[in-house]
Structure 1
Amino acid sequence: MEISQIRSFLAVAEELHFGRAAEKLHMAQPPVSRNIKHLERELGALLFERSTRKVTLTSVGSALIAPARDVLAALERMGTAAKAAGVGEIGRVRLAYAGASSNVLVGRLARAVNQQHPGINLELLSQNFAQKAMRLLTRGDIDLALGRWDHLPDGVRTRVVASEELVIAVPETHRLADRESVSISEFSDDRFVTLPTELGSVLNDRLRQMSREAGFSVDIVQDASDTWTLMSLVSAEVGCSLTLSSVIPSIADPHLRFLRLGDDVDPVELRIAWRADSDDRAMHAVLRLAEEVLPDLG
């Protein structure tokens, strides 16, 4: 059974006239008649009663109209889906992100994808640490990653979407709590709480680098699995913690103070990352949208 036969059948069924059906299909009448005869032969039943005066549907022909329309509708949907996939309008994009301050940006991007590319399924995977998200990306387990990395592996491209200031979180009882700006050297005798060292946190690397340059070895007394737990430890006076300015709005603890670093330190860049060799059209559609809805700082 060929598509041209189904189209010819529906045209004749709607017009009940072979000549008008041929005109509707922009065909000559003989090919339309041949299509109907071939279809009847394949089905083993007459679809039309023909006379010199009129054409009428048989009971078999009447029963075939709805299934024939379903076939053509399915073909149309297939064509639409193929076209949409070709330009990245449908598909699945997996995005892993890390950090307490990334949630707002991820939500903004997800809303934009849902509104402008409803055929794209954006899967969100929250990770505690950016290094884990990067490993998922380089293995091909995800399509995009949002995080902070001082060092990037080969084959990965990124774009900066936010630049964040380093701050030190201290309890309200800390001797420097009333200061607006401090130097890392003033914390040589303080204890610190950090994210787990083995997981390659950018903040841990920066803390060690800054303390080393200031001439002391930082005293880390405890680690925690996420930023919120770290801030709870600071509030409980277990130790101070190096964190990001973007974390401050998400922490509602009156016993905490966040102090700007007056030292000449580089900001931490939040980046969206993807594999340079990826040609997935849906992923690139999300990337283009990210350029519109997320800040572009470099």
Structure 2
Amino acid sequence: MELRHLAAFVAVAEELHFGRAAVRLHMAQSPLSRQVRLLERDLGVALFERNTRIVRLTPEGEAFLEPARKTLAEADRARRAALAASKGEVGRVSVGFAGAAGSDALPTLTRAVTSSLPGIELLLRGQTYSGTALDNVAEGVLDLGFVAMPAREGVSTRVVRRERLLVALPDTHPLAAREIVALPDLAGEPFVSFPSGSGSAVREAGMQACFKAGVSPRIVQEAPDAYTMMTLIGAELGVAIMVESSRRIHTDHVVFRPIAGEVPALLISLAWRSDNPSRALRAVLRVAETALPTPTDAD
């Protein structure tokens, strides 16, 4: 049983027409028919019922089709892995992510790498906060990190996402009736926030936006993650400045409102040590340039 015979069988099985299958495989119809006959002889069963009018699968052919597809797919994967190895595109790359930093971008990257770099395994490491991910990249614990913090010496970064800041409110709050909320309207309100000194980029961005608007947030509750924060807001314990991707966390009794005026966005970047010699990391970064281009508005 040869791979070219399997490819011939799958093409005919999907087209149910020898002429169309031959065109698809860029070959003449006669050698295509011969390959199918050789496969049938090899298996000892008829895979097709065919006459001058129709071509259709036999029960044996129907049972053989899916395993044949899988075999061809695995053979292609093996071929691509061998080619990747010849280019140095093999190995493992550890990737850190936290909260908003990577919630959208991470799945996009992992799918692109799986498709384009079969010889590379991504090891995904959840981090408590963006600052933790950046620390681990700088220290060499991680190869790559999704971060929302400024770069530091020895670490290279590239922006891949722009996160808008929003106000999260209990749905019973008077401001929830508005289409847009000005930050000065939050003066005196109880706030829910990530812990101080935790390295949370969302907390830092929210605090800076409030200070710029002349608001000093009165923090009454701290939450370790966005899920807990949403629960506290829904319980009417306070309001919060959160990022747009947090809207994907479904929590009853919480609404999001845009912030009036010019509010700095949170820029999500890929970060890696500039002196990391890993060829696998460089291959992942090349794929990321296409899968996660820098937004045009990432100023």
TM-score (norm 1): 0.68
Q: Deviations 1:22-69 (Å, cap 9, x if unpaired)?
A: xxxxxxxxxxxxxxxxxxxxxxxxxxxxxxxxxxxxxxxxxxxxxxxx
Q: Which residue of 2 aligns with 1:290?
A: 288
Q: Contact between 1:88 and 1:284, CA under 8 Å: does it hold in 2?
A: no
Q: Which residue of 1 aligns with 2:122?
A: 122
Q: Contact between 2:159 and 2:268, CA under 8 Å: does it hold in 1?
A: yes
Distance 2:192 2:206 in 1: 11
Which one is further off, 99-108 or 109-118? 99-108
Q: Contact between 1:148 and 1:202, CA under 8 Å: does it hold in 2?
A: yes
The structural deviation recorded for 1:254 is 3.6
The structural deviation recorded for 1:103 is 3.2
Q: Which residue of 2 aligns with 1:105?
A: 105
The structural deviation recorded for 1:98 is 1.0
Alignment of 1:126-275 (within 5 A): 126-149=126-149, 151-248=150-247, 250-275=248-273
Q: Contact between 1:99 and 1:147, CA under 8 Å: does it hold in 2?
A: no
Distance 1:211 1:269 in 2: 18
Q: 1:101 to 1:139 in 2, by over 3 A?
A: closer
Q: Contact between 2:169 and 2:254, CA under 8 Å: does it hold in 1?
A: yes
Q: Which residue of 2 aligns with 1:22?
A: none
Q: Contact between 2:101 and 2:148, CA under 8 Å: does it hold in 1?
A: no
Distance 1:171 1:88 in 2: 52
Q: Contact between 1:92 and 1:120, CA under 8 Å: does it hold in 2?
A: yes
Q: State the number of aligned residues.
A: 217
> After the TM superposition, which segments of 4 or more aligned residues of structure 1 sit over 6 Å from their partners?
none
Distance 1:240 1:219 in 2: 10
AA of the residue aligned to 1:244: V
Distance 1:132 1:84 in 2: 32
Distance 1:228 1:101 in 2: 15
Q: Which residue of 2 aligns with 1:95?
A: 95
AA of the residue aligned to 1:233: L
Q: 1:214 to 1:114 in 2, by over 3 A?
A: closer
Q: Contact between 1:167 and 1:260, CA under 8 Å: does it hold in 2?
A: yes
AA of the residue aligned to 1:200: G
Q: Contact between 2:147 and 2:269, CA under 8 Å: does it hold in 1?
A: yes
Q: Contact between 1:87 and 1:282, CA under 8 Å: does it hold in 2?
A: no
Distance 2:212 2:105 in 1: 33
SS at 2:232 equivalent: helix
Q: 1:91 to 1:217 in 2, by over 3 A?
A: same
Q: Contact between 2:156 and 2:272, CA under 8 Å: does it hold in 1?
A: yes
The structural deviation recorded for 1:117 is 1.1
Q: Deviations 1:77-125 (Å, cap 9, x if unpaired)?
A: 9xx97x8456331011000011146234212211221222111111000
Distance 1:103 1:269 in 2: 13
Distance 1:101 1:231 in 2: 17
Q: Gaps spanning 5+ residues in structure 2: where?
A: 1-77
Identity %: 37
Q: Deviations 1:191-250 (Å, cap 9, x if unpaired)?
A: 0011111212122222322332333421001111111110111011010011011221x2
Bigger-Rg structure (1/2): 1
AA of the residue aligned to 2:112: A
The structural deviation recorded for 1:255 is 1.1
AA of the residue aligned to 2:181: V
Distance 2:261 2:102 in 1: 25
RMSD: 2.0
Distance 1:97 1:158 in 2: 14
Q: 1:273 to 1:168 in 2, by over 3 A?
A: same
TM-score (norm 2): 0.68
Q: 1:119 to 1:295 in 2, by over 3 A?
A: same
Distance 2:146 2:286 in 1: 15
